[in-house]
A and B are shown apart, each in its own frame.
Chain A
Amino acid sequence: MVIIGENIHVIAKAVSTAIRERDAKVIRDLAKAQTEAGADYIDLNVGPMKKDPEENMHWLVDTVQEVTDLPLSIDTMNPVAMEAGLKNCKKRPLLNSASGKTDSKEHMLPLAKKYNCDVVISVMTDRGMPPDVDSKIESIMDTVTYANELGIPNEDIWVDPIILPVSTAGEGQRFTVANLEFIKILGDVLPGVKSTVGLSNVSNGVPDELRPLLNRVYLVMLGRNGLYSAIADPLDKELISLIKGDMPKDVELIYKTMDGEDIDLSALSQKQVEYVKTARVLMGETLYSDAWLES
């Protein structure tokens, strides 16, 4: 599993302040910490970057590349900032992200061709977020075909099904289930494409102390279904241990839960019970509530 380190993002106040005030230390520390923790890419999520996009992006890319040799994922919806970022990358970068929206097709996808880089393409279209597996597949096939016509091969495309919070009343669990299914069949409908997800969004709106558990279990589940990469927190040691094969028994337990096997909870440690209960929520088997571990 390829991990794209998510920790440099402007939603974090420390990061937005650091960019604005050119405080290189904050950025370097985050880049170094993620590199040492085993990240494969460093994501630079700068949001829309309306002010001085070129200058800001130059500085950020240079600052990060001073301390890491990892390739970068340039994460912005502003094509000007995107181009400035891609242009300055030493290693082949990841354009994060394009979609099936007209605007994105016209301004983002051509950049992936121009700079010969990998590109994340989400299932979004002008009609918005496709509601189910079939419409997600239909949307992504259209957009990938469009990208192919621009000269971008499947092998350079990382498909993003868009993860939504499991806690969204009534619908959240439908999304987590649909995305498991989507990842499972993606390789059959679009041979050669890779995949990625913005993992942490699955636990948005959930009490803070419970968020990592959802992220970890969901990543294991998606990984089993063939997920290629995830934008996630490499500083979460347990998450990395789970996907790097250091916790095979726990991974096996999550797989068994996915397979609907009978599991004797009384024979498990508390942490393992939490894995099972969390997997059951993510596969839509038990109804989500913030108290899902308590029942």
Chain B
Amino acid sequence: MDYKAPVEAYTGVVREVIIGKGNKSLKIGGENILPLHFFDQGANPNPVKFALEVLDMKPEDWPEHAIEPFKDVISDPVSWAKKCQSFAVDAVSLFLVSTDPAVKNAPADKAAALAKEVAEAISVPLIVYGSGDEKKDVEVLSKVAEVCDGMNLLIGPVLKENYEAVGKAILDHGHTAIAQSPLDINLLKELNVKLSKIFPPDRIVIDPLSSALGYGMEYSFSLIERVKQIGVITKDSMTMMPIIANLGVECWKTKQAKENKKQGLLWEGMTALSLLLAGANIIVLRHPETLKLIKETIEAR
């Protein structure tokens, strides 16, 4: 008897989300198969995308080997962002760390002006992360949204504590939102349900929190995997959003990555590859050589 391999066809489709405008835009998500299930019926029209980190101030706790690729531009976020483009990134992710009340408490309008300057200086879409301070971010992210009106930046983190205010600003000024919840699928869905009442679900990207290898990565892996399964297989509308894995910052916090360069690249690379296999749609990295390493791995070079 001839063997016929079983082929699954799923009913759920991850929403295709567009970041950026015109020739400065990219699409993420849109798949109706599980990650890498290319043998099943369906497709992933938008393979995983990569962004590199840019900080709005000179990094304070980065090891020398992480600063090295950018050492000439490390105090100038605009030039830093431009330099990222020489590493063939799909997007740049600007982190407004200086606005954190516990860091420099930099004012919102200064941060917003910088975001606009960076967005205009590069030819790829811009992701903007606030400091994560739920109160200060309302001010900062709302201002970023307003000043960058119509540029369709990907802005976050939108949290359960501030989704109404931040969500409204992101919506009013034509951007896309990163909905972030703390490594819990029930809370993740709840935030999407609530945010979706005031915000179009096809402009939401999920940030489930991405822990580093050896520091809880398996939780992030299972969670991303489960979000995809529930979205694609059981067609749960509130999990059918693409996923951003913001893992550079987590990986470079580890002792292992700080110790030496090779270890750092492998640590970040292994975490990225794992979360990519779980189903992440866009990955934010710190080191350009990690990006190169992953691209070579994907293309089997």
Contacts and interface: CB of A to CB of B under 8 A. Distances in A.
B234 A289 contact: no
Q: Which of A169, A170, A289, A295 has the most CB of B within 10 A?
A: A289
B48 interface: no
B226 A289 contact: no
A285 interface: yes
Q: Which of A169, A287, A290 has the most CB of B within 10 A?
A: A287
Given A170-B222, A170-B226, A295-B237, A288 B193 contact: no
B238 A288 contact: no
A287 B188 CA distance: 10
Interface of A: 167, 169-170, 172, 285-291, 294-295
A290 B185 contact: no
Nearest to A166: B186
B37 interface: no
B230 interface: yes
Contact of B230 (A172, A287, A290, A295): A287
Given A169-B184, A169-B185, A169-B186, A289 B230 contact: no
Contact of A291 (B184, B185, B194, B223): B194
A289 B230 CA distance: 13
17 contacts: A169-B184, A170-B185, A285-B234, A286-B234, A287-B236, A287-B238, A288-B186, A289-B188, A289-B189, A289-B190, A289-B193, A291-B193, A294-B194, A294-B197, A295-B193, A295-B196, A295-B237
A285 B230 CA distance: 9
A73 B230 CA distance: 41
Nearest to A295: B193
Given A170-B226, A289-B187, A295-B193, 20 more contacts: A167-B186, A169-B184, A169-B187, A170-B184, A285-B234, A286-B236, A287-B186, A287-B230, A287-B234, A289-B188, A289-B189, A289-B193, A289-B238, A290-B186, A291-B189, A291-B190, A294-B194, A295-B189, A295-B196, A295-B237
B239 interface: yes
A287 B187 CA distance: 11
A70 to B, nearest CB: 38
A169 B182 CA distance: 11
A113 to B, nearest CB: 44
Contacts of B193: 289, 291, 294-295
The 3 closest A-B pairs by CB, nearest first: A289-B190, A289-B189, A291-B193
Q: Which of B186, B189, B230, B234 has the most CB of A within 10 A?
A: B186
Contacts of B184: 169-170
Interface residues of B, number: 20
Nearest to B189: A289
Nearest to A285: B234
Contacts of B188: 289
Contacts of A170: 184-185, 222-223, 226
Interface in B162-202: 184-190, 193-194, 196-197
Nearest to A286: B236
Given A169-B184, A170-B226, A290 B190 contact: yes
A287 B189 contact: yes
A167 B190 CA distance: 12
Contacts of B187: 169, 289
Contacts of A290: 186, 190
Contacts of A294: 193-194, 197
A172 B196 CA distance: 24
Q: Which of B188, B193, B197, B234 has the most CB of A within 10 A?
A: B193
B226 to A, nearest CB: 7
Interface string B237-257: 111000000000000000000
B86 to A, nearest CB: 41
A295 B238 contact: yes
Contacts of B189: 287-289, 291, 295
A291 B191 CA distance: 9
Contacts of A295: 189, 193, 196, 237-238
Contacts of A172: 186
A143 B223 CA distance: 36
A289 B223 CA distance: 14
A291 B188 CA distance: 11
Contacts of B185: 169-170, 287
A289 B237 contact: no
A202 to B, nearest CB: 14
Nearest to A290: B190
A273 to B, nearest CB: 15
A291 B193 CA distance: 7
A294 B194 CA distance: 8
Q: Which of B188, B190, B234 has the most CB of A within 10 A?
A: B190
B191 to A, nearest CB: 8
Q: Which of A167, A170, A285, A291 has the most CB of B within 10 A?
A: A291
A294 B197 CA distance: 9
A240 B185 CA distance: 33
A186 to B, nearest CB: 28
A202 B237 CA distance: 25
A291 B196 CA distance: 12
Nearest to B196: A295
Contacts of B190: 289-291
B190 to A, nearest CB: 4
A169 B219 CA distance: 11
